[in-house]
Amino acid sequence: MERKRVFITGVGVISGIGNDVRGVSESLRDLKHGFSAYPPFLDDPLAPVTLVSAPKEFQVDSNDFEDWVYPEQYRVRREVLRGFAPHGLYVYCAMKQAIEDAGLEEEDVSNVETGIYTASSGSTRLVYHNMSRMHEVGPMRCSPTGIVSAISGTLSFNLVAGFRIQGNSCGFSSACASSGHALGFAYDDIAMGRQKRMFIAAGEDVNYESVVPFTGMRALSLETDPVRASCPFDAKRNGFVCAGGGAVLVLESEEEAMRRGSTPYVELLGWGQSSDGHNVAISHPEGLGLIRAIDKACESTGVDAGEIDYINAHATSTLIGDASEGKALDVVFNSKGYSPKISSTKAITGHGLSLASALEASIISIAMKEGFTPGSAHIQNLDSQFEAFNIIRKTELVAPQVALSNSSGFGGANVSLLFKRV
């Protein structure tokens, strides 16, 4: 069966570097980071971390959703809002943007040929709050939406109901590769003709309970200076900065995009995945799993590695992770004499975990459409092991033709996505 071509026709973003496509684009061009000190950390001597990447104009820390503050243009009815985790609100707003951006009417969103794949790790904070309350006052005085707002899957429950989605839907839970998997399987559904349109909706909370546990595994940078805290490929990188927010992409078949007369951002050429089978939390030191994911992406799309002219790296600014990805890129590209531009936009966005791949797919979509290649910020002393790479330090005003986006999650789950300029 012939595969259908798949295009990205809508993007919505709520993130530390901007709450819409325009804001994100400006931050990428100027390499302006989205980090700030998170007040609850400052008040707590036990929390060694200071910085987060949190969407501005949102105050969603309260366990009572009726206290939440969010931009005025999004009016969310109480019965919709009550089912949300904090990141549910981010993603809902991003979804509104993506629908408007793609020019979708209500009937385009709600039909049996349109589905949604989601990625989030749920809300540890709300789980903690609900369990504490349950032990304190008993289950009959806990919120009836306590479960649907908190457990992983919350994005699917809420968005499917809230937007009356009737097609395929499920959630992905492969940590930092989650939304990569969501994009990949959504691509498959459209390419195989199972759906005409898919939403990919990803998000994460950014609060005490979502961030601080990562310090226990020594994964976060404890720097207070944003420029030093997130600096992928730098010799002094020492961990990532946690990001929360939401990103939503609209994927459509070629026929559907043409029927609606939409102007796509990019073509999603396809994807590849593989697993390290190595360690619960650390990527394979030689990047073996990632090599295979990139190879699979190239094989399945017929793209030669030499055609790829930009790589949006997974590089989160950890010592081991960046090094492992470097090994993989060395095998796939350098060893064959290819030197695509490379950057990690996590230097300014921070690491959005389940959100990461969808956020980076949004970044690539915006960059390819608008005609720039985002640079890799915050490198003061390039780690010598990356010297052979073409890591661009500034955003260049030229669009990539074929871009690769990598994501790797706990357990060694690797996803590589390939995008083509239209």
DSSP string, 167-192: S-EEEE--GGGHHHHHHHHHHHHHHT
Nearer to another protein, 79 or 105 (CB): 79
- In degrees, to the nearest 5, what angle opens at C-alpha 213 toward C-alphas 211 and 215? 85
Active-site residues, by number, are 176, 314, 351
The residue among 1 and 77 lying less far from another protein, judged by its C-beta, is 77
Question: CA-to-CA distance for 276 and 285, rounded, in angstroms?
Answer: 10
Alpha-helical segments (H) within 277-318: 288-301
User: Residues 174, 274: contact at Cβ < 8 Å?
Assistant: no
Answer for which of 2, 43, 66, 136 binds another protein (CB under 8 A) is 66
Strand segments (E) across 107-239: 114-119, 169-172, 197-204
> In whole angstroms, how close is the CB of 134 to another protein at the nearest point?
13
Other residues' Cβ atoms within 10 Å of the Cβ of residue 173 = 18
Give the Cα separation of 38 and 52 in Å (integer): 6
Count CB neighbours of 124 within 10 A.
19
Q: Does 135 bind another protein (CB under 8 A)?
A: no
Q: Are 90 and 246 in contact (CB under 8 A)?
A: yes
137-156 residues near another protein, rule: CB under 8 A: 137-138, 140-141, 143-145
Q: Provide the minimum distance between the beta carbon of 61 and another protein in the complex, in angstroms, as a whole number.
A: 17
Nearer to another protein, 91 or 148 (CB): 148
Closest among 405, 73, 71, 16 to 245, alpha carbons compared: 16
Return the residue of 82, 197, 378, 421 that touches another protein, per CB under 8 A. 82
Confirm if 418 and 400 have CB atoms less than 8 A apart.
no
Closest separation between CB of residue 77 and another protein, Å?
7
Q: Which stretch binds another protein (CB under 8 A): 73-81, 193-201, 348-356, 372-380?
A: 73-81
Residues 257-276, interacting with another protein (CB under 8 A): none
Count of residues binding another protein (CB under 8 A)?
Answer: 12
Closest to another protein by CB, 45 or 144:
144
Alpha-carbon distance of 290 to 263, in angstroms, equals 32
| Cβ nearer to another protein, comparing 55 with 83 | 83
- Contact window for another protein (CB under 8 A) among 32-40, 72-80, 163-171, 329-337: 72-80
Q: Is 77 in the site for another protein (CB under 8 A)?
A: yes
Point out which span in 136-144, 205-213, 245-253, 371-379 binds another protein (CB under 8 A): 136-144
CB of 150 to another protein, least distance (A): 15
25 binds another protein (CB under 8 A): no
Site residues, another protein (CB under 8 A): 66, 77-79, 82, 137-138, 140-141, 143-145
